[in-house]
């Protein structure tokens, strides 16, 4: 795909995420007023991750255009830093967290929506916004992977970073329960302590699998060696 269409596409995706975030924050939901606010939900954290990631993509595109034909080594060095940050975010956060949110949400939703997205939320969140948070994330990140080659970090470093994010969020969820006595997700209310540990371990494994899927897919699309 040509450079300019890619730039326009990334800018459009960034604007869509900004719109989704603004509309979501404007909703007057009781959950937003409790401890942790919107930051207790992985969906919201993922939206921020995707918005920041595509913001860096747009900034990289603009920097690339500005430095094109310029012999300044300092500008080239700064551009390489931006590209490295963009690639790292894609590998460690944007792809695995985005795919995890979409697949886990709709899997549980289809089984029993009350465990993850109670019907009461339909009174606050319109259907288009729900899909903006839980559906379009996947095609957007796949489009980015298909249009731009991303250099993945070493597998050990990548998996360590993904595990750190997953464990950090799990500890955050447990801390919220410790403070408020309420689990962020209704699903956790139905699990015994032992099953919760197994569930959290499984979640960590799954998000690591999605990291590996992203690495394999990136290598396959761009025909790069492991």
Give the model confidence (pLDDT) of 143-201 as tens digits: 999 999 999 999 999 999 999 999 999 999 999 999 999 999 988 998 999 999 999 99
Domain that holds residue 39: 6-222
- Residue 93: which of 129, 57, 40 has the closest Cα? 57
Q: What angle do CA 140, 26, 35 make, to 5 degrees?
A: 95
Q: Which pLDDT belongs to residue 224?
A: 67
- The total of other beta-carbon atoms located within 10 Å of residue 207's CB is 21
* Structural domain includes residue 74: yes
Judge whether 136 lies within some domain. Answer: yes
Distance CA 80, CA 89 (A): 14
Environment class of residue 124 by beta-carbon count within 10 Å: exposed (0-12), middle (13-18) or buried (19+)?
A: middle
* List of residues 6+ apart from 150 with CB closer than 8 A: 86, 87, 90, 91, 218
How far are the Cα atoms of 17, 25, 82 from residue 31, in angstroms, in the given order? 21, 11, 36
**Could you report the per-residue pLDDT of 118-151, keeping only the tens digit for each?**
898 888 889 999 999 999 999 999 999 999 999 9
Q: Exposed, middle or buried, 27 (CB in 10 Å: 0-12/13-18/19+)? A: middle
Q: Which residues contact 202 (CB under 8 A, 6 or more apart)?
A: none
How high is the pLDDT of residue 139?
Answer: 95
Q: Which of 77-81, 133-137, 212-216 has the lowest mean pLDDT?
A: 77-81
Give the pLDDT mean for 44-55: 97
- 75 C-beta neighbours (distance < 10 Å), count: 13
The percent of residues in the chain predicted with pLDDT above 70, rounded, is 96
Confirm whether 33 is domain-assigned.
yes
The token pair at 193 is 């302590």
pLDDT at residue 69 tops 80: no
Would you say the C-alpha torsion 129, 134, 138, 139 has a positive or negative sign? negative
Q: Is residue 202 part of a domain?
A: yes
Residue 1 forms part of a structural domain: no
Residue 21 lies in a domain: yes
In a domain, 131, yes or no: yes
Whether residue 22 lies inside any domain: the answer is yes
Q: Regarding predicted confidence, which is higher, 42 or 121?
A: 42
Counting the structural domains of the chain, the total is 1
């Amino acid at each position: 795909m040509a450079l300019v269409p890619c730039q326009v596409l990334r800018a459009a995706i960034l604007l869509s995420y900004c719109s989704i975030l603004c509309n979501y924050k404007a909703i007057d939901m009781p959950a937003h007023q409790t401890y942790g606010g919107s930051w207790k939900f992985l969906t919201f954290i993922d939206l921020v991750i995707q918005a920041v990631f595509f913001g860096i993509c747009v900034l990289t595109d603009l920097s690339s255009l500005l430095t094109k034909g310029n012999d300044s080594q300092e500008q080239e060095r700064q551009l390489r830093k931006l590209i490295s940050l963009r690639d790292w975010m894609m590998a460690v956060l944007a792809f695995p967290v985005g795919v995890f949110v979409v697949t886990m949400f709709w899997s549980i939703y289809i089984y029993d929506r009350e465990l993850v997205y109670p019907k009461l939320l339909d009174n606050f969140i319109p259907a288009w916004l729900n899909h903006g948070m839980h559906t379009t994330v996947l095609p957007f990140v796949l489009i980015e992977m298909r249009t731009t080659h991303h250099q993945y970090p070493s597998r050990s470093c990548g998996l360590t970073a993904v595990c750190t994010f997953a464990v950090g969020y799990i500890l955050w969820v447990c801390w919220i329960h410790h403070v408020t006595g309420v689990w962020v997700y209704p699903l956790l209310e139905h699990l015994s302590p032992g099953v919760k540990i197994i569930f959290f371990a499984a979640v960590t494994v799954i998000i690591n699998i999605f990291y590996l899927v992203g690495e394999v897919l990136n290598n396959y699309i761009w025909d790069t060696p492991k």
